[in-house]
């Protein structure tokens, strides 16, 4: 029995007590830069990061204002590979058809497999291949936006490259960052990869159809996510069975309305 949340899982939530690191722990993220590169000082690392992120930020602001002008709600979907981002998008787009226009930017190192899957639903999609890059950046997204037919008052989903580390630092100009965590990944991921959960507005717990078969405690996953990000919203879905997708669609429509209301308020000022 799980002592934190009372579920039937056998996990013991060791991380709750496990913050004392002894001799068996080597930590390379304790400097000011939060990372380490052999031969490079912390100051130089901070300079390089500030330069890159500063440039990215200006591209992101450009994307954001272009999207806002068209009333487009942009979501940046981040997760590990295989959590079900593309499957969730395909099922979402099928249900949005005739209800809310949508378009997709797909990010992967190689192949256009995911954009092909999306186009089969009838929604427009552009694939970005990042090569050795492990995340999308705002400059790449800006180029994709030049090619993507975007309707006024529509939704834009941006499926980021699958990993829980690199996409965390890069604003794409989105209004909403959603992290997808599937129940096969373990409820400790928000603690292990805190940056991506700290920067997200929404956590979508996917593959809930598999809950009876895996040792995953929903309560602990939510508690872990809220430890790194107390304001994170949570939805539970199964892209396979469709459970929870109505709530997800309502959430999207609510976010569209909030964005439109904010734009009207700004215009009135």
Residues that bind ligand GDP (CB under 6 A): 79, 81-87, 162, 206-207, 209-210, 238-240
For the purposes of burial, counting CB atoms within 10 Å of the CB of 128, is it exposed (0-12), middle (13-18) or buried (19 or more)? Answer: buried
Q: Which residue is nearest to ligand GDP (CB)?
A: 84
Which residues, 6+ apart, have CB-to-CB distance to 92 below 8 Å? Answer: 102, 157, 245, 248, 249, 252
Assigned token pair, 81: 């590979």
- Among the candidate windows 32-40, 82-90, 198-206, 235-243, which touches Mg ion by CB under 5 A? 82-90
Q: Does residue 86 belong to the site contacting Mg ion (CB under 5 A)?
A: yes
Q: Which is nearer to ligand GDP, 63 or 87 (CB)?
A: 87
H or E segment to which residue 157 belongs: strand 155-159
Q: Write down the least CB distance from residue 185 to ligand GDP, Å.
A: 11
Contact 199, 176 (CB under 8 A): no
**Cβ-based nearer residue to ligand GDP, 56 or 127:** 127
Q: How far apart are CA 193 and CA 219, in angstroms?
A: 18
Sign of CA dihedral 235, 239, 243, 248: positive
User: What's the closest the beta carbon of residue 160 comes to ligand GDP, in angstroms?
Assistant: 10
The partner in contact with residue 122, picked from ligand GDP, Mg ion, none with C-beta cut-offs of 5 to 8 angstroms by kind, is: none
- Least Cβ distance, residue 97 to Mg ion (angstroms): 20
Q: Which stretch binds Mg ion (CB under 5 A): 56-64, 78-86, 91-99, 176-184?
A: 78-86
**Binding pattern to Mg ion, positions 100-129, x when CB under 5 A?**
--------------x---------------
Q: How far is the CB of 104 from ligand GDP (least distance, A)?
A: 11
Least Cβ distance, residue 11 to ligand GDP (angstroms): 20
Complete DSSP assignment for 189-236: HHHHSHHHHHT-SEEEEE-GGGGGGS---HHHHHHHHHHH-TT-EEEE
CA distance 62 to 68: 10
Instruction: Give least dist CB 223 to ligand GDP, A.
Output: 22
Under rule CB under 5 A, which residues in 137-196 are in contact with Mg ion? none
C-alpha to C-alpha distance for 112 and 129, rounded to whole angstroms: 8
Q: Which residues bind Mg ion (CB under 5 A)?
A: 85-86, 114
């Amino acid at each position: 029995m799980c002592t934190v949340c009372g579920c039937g899982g056998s996990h013991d939530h060791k991380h709750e007590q496990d913050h004392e690191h002894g001799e068996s722990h080597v930590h390379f993220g304790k400097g000011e830069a939060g990372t380490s590169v052999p031969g490079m000082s912390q100051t130089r690392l901070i300079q390089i990061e500030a330069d890159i992120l500063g440039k990215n930020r200006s591209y992101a602001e450009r994307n954001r204002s272009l999207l806002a002008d068209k009333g487009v709600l942009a979501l940046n979907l981040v997760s590990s590979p295989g959590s079900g981002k593309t499957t969730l998008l395909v099922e979402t787009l099928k249900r949005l058809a005739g209800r809310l226009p949508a378009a997709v930017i797909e990010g992967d190192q190689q192949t256009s497999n995911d954009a092909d899957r999306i186009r089969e639903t009838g929604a427009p999609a552009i694939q970005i291949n990042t090569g050795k890059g492990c995340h999308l950046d705002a400059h790449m997204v800006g180029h994709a936006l030049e090619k993507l037919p975007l309707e006024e008052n529509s939704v834009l989903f941006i499926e980021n490259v699958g990993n829980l580390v690199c996409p965390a630092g890069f604003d794409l100009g989105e209004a909403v960052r959603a992290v997808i965590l599937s129940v096969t990944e373990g409820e400790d991921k928000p603690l292990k990869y805190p940056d991506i959960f700290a920067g997200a507005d929404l956590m979508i717990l996917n593959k809930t159809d598999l809950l009876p078969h895996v040792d995953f405690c929903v309560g602990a996953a939510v508690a872990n996510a809220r430890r790194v990000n107390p304001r994170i919203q949570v939805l539970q879905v199964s892209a396979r069975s469709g459970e929870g997708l109505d709530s997800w669609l309502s959430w999207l429509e609510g976010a569209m309305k909030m964005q439109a209301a904010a734009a009207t308020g700004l215009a009135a000022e």
